[in-house]
Amino acid sequence: MSSFVSYNITAESLLPTPFSGNPLLPIILLSMAGQKHTPVTTTDIKDSYDYIIIGGGTAGSVVANRLSEEECVSVLLLEAGKAPPKITDIPAIYNYLAPTELSWRFKTNPVRFTGEGSPERSVTLNAGKALGGSSVINGLQNIRGHRRDFDKWAERGATGYHGVGGPVTVSKPPYTSELKVAVKLAATELGYNFTDANGPIQTGFYDLQATEKRGQRSSIAKGYLVPVDDRENLDIVTEAYVTKIKIVDKIFTAYAVEFDFEGQTRIVNATREIILSAGAINSPKLLKLSCIGPKEELERLDIPVTSDIPVGENLQEQWGVLSIFELSPKIQEFKEKITTKKNIWQYITTKTGPLASVSGVSTLAFLSQFGNPPPVEYPDYELYFIEGIEEFLTSFSLSEDLDLQKVYKPHKNQAYFFCLSQVLHPKGRGSVTINTTDPYAQPNIEVEYFNKDDLETVVAGMKTCLDVGNSEPLKKLGAKPIATFVPECEKSEGNEDDYLRCISKSVFISSSHQAGTNKMGAVDDPTTVVDPELRVKGIAQLRVVDASVIPSLTSGNFIPTIMIAEKASDLIKKSISCPAK
């Protein structure tokens, strides 16, 4: 049977993408059949494994691959979500994926100091709920981080972490837009350097490097699980919702995982280790439900405490603000580009063109608010230049009344672009707490978005957006700033900085780059949850391997999560000694 025959066209059409119901969808999928996108899974679960991995996302997929390289050990990978549909491999539709069952769609507690822009004054945090995790729904950006980021980790006791290669393909999307050409010209005229974001000097403008292989998304599941799904010692299970890690009280040792699967509660033993890779929100939640966390918080819920450590603290999140510019009517709007028959056929036949772009993201920049060039080569904000598409706004849950009605819809039938200013190293800190023992309830998520320094960083980026948008190369495309109507900000219009600060508090978005809630560092540091080898303090045979262990956010995105998972796998494999064949 061919891989195309196994596609469920009806299911593929159910995702709310521009290709739902399009008669060309089967042909698009057929043209993509050369890349198997998801691994074979099983429903036959044994009673015991050597290693159990909770979470089949970015980190969990890596660890499952690496541990199962050792043929003498057995590995179980549990994922709460499903295998993603093939259509998710089209890079141009990533903004359509966040508001679906492929994301956990966490809601924060009401955010302090917000304006009118976020419904219920809360923010949606997206995190992948599928095999491959967030690598299935994210913006495909591949940035390893700055050298100084990892020096900071080492200063805090998290030593031994460096860059790594791997089976995830990275390339520049094969598409060049009018916007990309103009932004590059503008950057040069404004005195900025063009650089390699993964090179030794990162400050400057750069072309997007994406986890993309021949015009298709290269998810972590595709890179790490698909090639090894025939290993007899690896079982991959989807739609398995873990509710508790079981611990032997007297010797403080993790020994089993309890989860719901096919309408039944299952308990499976781990003879060697349990690896928790459920992400920066779900990992601290599950630890607390498993009797690991702050004593006062757990005792309020009558949860016995086996290890009193600061689980759920240190939540960090990158966030930013969109500046919107209209473009000349002569330029084709991006949504029209990706649904035009000519461009669809270009993708079908060559895997190039608008459909191979990362939803219109063209050029990016790592810059510093302290000058160009900055006194120290270390960026503190990032800019994204993105061809405008309505779904970019809705995927971030910006207010229908404020943003779509008053800003976007008057320009619905014409081209425009976004410039996103995003803080890279936020100083604001939040937390993940629980107020119930129900494992299906969302935890309380408190995020500090408007730390004074972070706000100034975002505003600096917005001013750079305006500089680029008002430059001659952009003016030749008809670029004009679109006013963002926020009544409470009108009184600040005479002061640009005050006005931008006010706007920021109304139309900010989450970048869904959460980290830090199970902080890694020195064992004697009272703020850490795991040691440098990612072992949970006070509990044997339990590690956390995901973005929650990151002590401080890196420049860019979460490719370092792969690095952490590779390092963790090496650490675990030191204790494995398979007999020689």
Q: Which residues are annotated as a binding site for FAD?
A: 242
| Rounded Cα gap, residues 32 and 162, in angstroms | 34
367 membership: H or E segment, kind and range: strand 361-367
| Residues 6+ positions from 255 with CB-CB distance below 8 Å | 246, 247, 248, 269, 270, 541
Residue by residue, DSSP assigns 497-562 as HHHHHHHHHHHEEE----B-TT-B--TT-TT-SB-TT-BBTT-BTEEE-SGGG-SS--SSSSHHHH
Helix, strand, coil shares of the chain as percentages rounded to 5? 30, 20, 50
Which amino acid type is present at position 486?
V
The DSSP line for 46-107 is: -SEEEEEEE--SHHHHHHHHHHTTSTTS-EEEE-SSBPPPGGGG-GGGGGGTTTSTTB--EE
Residue type, 220: I
User: Of the candidates 470, 573, 562, 566, which has an alpha carbon nearest to the alpha carbon of residue 143?
Assistant: 562
Q: Give every CB contact of residue 14 below 8 A, 6+ residues apart in sequence.
A: 20
In order of 178, 242, 301, 324, the CA distances from 294 in angstroms are 53, 21, 12, 43
Lookup: tokens for 207: 């072309």
> Per-residue DSSP letters for 456-515?
HHHHHHHHHHHHHHTSHHHHTTT-EEPP---GGGGGGTTSHHHHHHHHHHHHEEE----B
- Tokens 């005792």 sit at which residue? 299
Structure tokens at 448: 């500090």
Alpha-carbon distances of 512 from 98, 284, 297, rounded to whole Å: 10, 17, 26
* Joined tokens for residue 358: 């990362």
Strands 416-423 and 319-326, how do they pair? Answer: antiparallel
Q: Which residues are annotated as a binding site?
A: 242
- Exposure b/e, 461-494, CB count within 10 A at least 16 = b: bbebbbbbbebebbeebbbbebebebeebeebee
Give backbone dihedrals phi and psi of 522, rounded to 5 degrees, phi first: -60, 145
CA distance 529 to 535: 8
- For residue 414, with 0-12 CB atoms within 10 Å meaning exposed, 13-18 middle and 19 or more buried, which class applies? middle
CA dihedral 466, 470, 472, 476 (to 10 degrees): 120
Q: Which of 211, 216, 168 is nearest to 347 (CA)?
A: 216
